[in-house]
Amino acid sequence: MPTTSLGEYLRARRAEVTPADAGLPVHGRRRVPGLRREEVAVAAGMSVDYYVRLEQGREKSPSAQVLDSLCDVLMLDDEARLHLYRLAGLVPVDPLTVVPERVDPELLRLLARWSDTPAIVLGRAYDVLAGNDLAFALFDGFEQGANLLHTIFLDPGARSFYPDWEQVARYTVAGFRIMQGRNPDDPRIREVVARLSSESADFVAMWERHEARGQRLASKRFHHREVGELVLGIQAFDVRSAPGQELIVYQAERGSRSEEALALLGTLAATRAQTDRADGRT
């Protein structure tokens, strides 16, 4: 049945809200996960027919008042609300641009100065646009030009590198959903989604949940083949000079085992770099 991105999002979010979440009584066996269409419509104060038209894509221009009511019923947080408004055309999407993404030279110099702090710059489609030496040592085999989603879903070593792989994957997909909503016609974003949709059933399952979340995990666990397990805090910053780019910085808690492991990793990376230079490989 024909639908729209708005309809797909509403249907996916409806499936995530249980009757108990919505304070509704449950009588007998239910045939659908989450809420029924009529339950959403009644709770949001609209006709069932109108809500059905929204999900089926036959109604494409709901008012802000209608969206507010649906946000409340579907229990959407601020980021998910904004995503819904963007899908409904009430918030402008980012202008389409197909020029290659480049990192500001000043930002590159800043990354190079952070010798004990891994940091990378991601583009709109989660391509790795830049990173410092320690970041590339941390993400073993990860290099400039790689794509974060491709790595998580298609690299055979990703599930051992990320001990909490499913959580990391879901947060990454939810963040990418926000970027896709901002840039629905971006050819690189479409290319990433198309490849993963054809090569990863796990990605398809998570993508079809339509989770939209811009906030990254506060910390991640990594298992590095040389230094073992690390737990690193994460800070993400929008790059104001290049909308759509993100600076991601990883830090270990002071005095922790992870700080020691990160320092060892930096020493190993520096030693390899010196050896490469001595051998004339760089």
Three-class SS string for 225-248? Answer: CCCEEEEEEEEEEECCCCCCCEEE
**Whole-number average pLDDT of the chain:** 90
Long-range contacts of 165-172 (CB under 8 A, 24+ apart): 167/217, 168/217, 168/220, 169/202, 169/203, 169/206, 170/206, 170/209, 170/211, 171/213, 171/216, 171/217, 172/126, 172/148
pLDDT, one tens digit per residue, over 225-236 is: 999 999 999 999
- The pLDDT tens digits for 258-276 are 999 999 999 988 887 777 6
Percent of the chain with pLDDT over 90: 71
- State the pLDDT at residue 270: 83
Give the type of residue at 17.
V
Taking the domain 105-278, which CATH number applies?
A: 3.30.450.180
Q: Is 5-87 in CATH node 1.10.260.40?
A: yes
- Dist CA 267 CA 273 (whole Å): 10
Task: Provide the 10 A C-beta neighbour count for residue 255.
Answer: 8
Query: Which residues are paired to 246 by β-bridges?
Result: 122, 238
Predicted pLDDT of residue 92: 77
- Environment class of residue 119 by beta-carbon count within 10 Å: exposed (0-12), middle (13-18) or buried (19+)? buried
CATH code 1.10.260.40 region(s) in the chain: 5-87
Name which of 80-89, 139-148, 248-257, 272-281 the model is least confident about. 272-281
Give span(s): CATH 3.30.450.180, the chain.
105-278
Q: Region 238-253: what's the mean pLDDT?
A: 92
Encoded amino acid at 47, one letter = S
The confidence score (pLDDT) of residue 271 equals 84
Token code pair at residue 192: 């990433």
pLDDT tens across 36-74, in order?
999 999 999 999 999 999 999 998 889 999 999 999 999
